[in-house]
Chains A and B, each alone.
Chain A
Amino acid sequence: GEEVAQTPKHLVRGEGQKAKLYCAPIKGHSYVFWYQQVLKNEFKFLISFQNENVFDETGMPKERFSAKCLPNSPCSLEIQATKLEDSAVYFCASSPSLPDRSTDTQYFGPGTRLTVL
């Protein structure tokens, strides 16, 4: 598709439950990113993929967070045993693989709002 799609739009979980979020990147884009937007608008980078391979996971809290991008499937971000502080909007973005840096851009999806009660 021509837009990054994210599902679900809203997700409510009780503390300790699992949450799974999905992202379909723009067709033909090789790179997928996950960002977390918490209160006061702060964006935090979590992880990125080049196709199905992890490219950069320096922002990922590895104890409870995991992510995958498998061929012919939406990418996913999973949080095991959610905590109150995981409440945030999770954005996915995708980017083409272009040699010309003047055209490189990340395109963002509409986000998934996760509320942990």
Chain B
Amino acid sequence: GNSVTQMEGPVTLSEEAFLTINCTYTATGYPSLFWYVQYPGEGLQLLLKATKADDKGSNKGFEATYRKETTSFHLEKGSVQVSDSAVYFCALSPFSGGYNKLIFGAGTRLAVHP
């Protein structure tokens, strides 16, 4: 079946530290991969995505590379800010097209302190 596994949080960092949140997936076929972010009290916002192997998604200083050989899509940021504090969700869409359901990981809470 299809599933997503994320590292458990919370992740607590000081401002300007390097961030990595691990995400691995299991899927049949060629999924699209996503990172969504949920700020306190808000809905999900798409952070970045990749639709095929070796694609790199990037946005707001965050990056993730679609690694088919390791079935991974780890999220990284070189220098985090307090405003990055949120819950981050890795997700996959099993088939091509935006009409397919998303399968989410459990989420990783990030807390950044000044």
| Contact A111 to B101, CB < 8 A, known contacts A102-B51, A105-B49 | no
In whole angstroms, how far apart are the Cα atoms of A80 and B112 in the complex? 42
Min CB–CB distance A105 → chain B (angstroms)? 6
Q: Would B51 and A101 count as touching, CB distance under 8 A?
A: yes
In whole angstroms, how far apart are the Cα atoms of A30 and B103 in the complex? 20
Judge if A87 is at the interface, Cβ distance under 8 Å: no
Closest to A110 in B: B43
In whole angstroms, how far apart are the Cα atoms of A107 and B42 in the complex? 13
B interface size (C-beta, 8 A):
25
Closest to A103 in B: B98
A106 contacts which chain B residues (CB < 8 A)? 46, 98, 102
Min CB–CB distance B32 → chain A (angstroms)? 6
Q: Would A59 and B43 count as touching, CB distance under 8 A?
A: no
In whole angstroms, how far apart are the Cα atoms of A45 and B46 in the complex? 17
In whole angstroms, how far apart are the Cα atoms of A56 and B95 in the complex? 13
In whole angstroms, how far apart are the Cα atoms of A23 and B8 in the complex? 31
A35 contacts which chain B residues (CB < 8 A)? 102
B99 contacts which chain A residues (CB < 8 A)? 30-31, 48, 50, 55, 95, 97, 104
A residues contacting B by CB (< 8 A) are 4, 30-31, 33, 35, 40-43, 45, 48, 50, 55-56, 58-59, 91, 93, 95-98, 101-111
- Residue contacts A-B, CB under 8 angstroms, 24 given: A31-B98, A33-B101, A41-B106, A43-B104, A45-B101, A48-B99, A50-B99, A56-B100, A59-B101, A91-B43, A93-B44, A93-B102, A95-B98, A101-B97, A101-B98, A102-B51, A104-B32, A104-B98, A105-B46, A105-B98, A107-B46, A108-B36, A108-B43, A111-B43
Q: A48-B101, A95-B98, A97-B97 are in contact. List 9 more A-B contacts (CB 8 A).
A: A41-B109, A45-B101, A50-B99, A56-B100, A59-B101, A91-B43, A91-B44, A102-B51, A104-B32
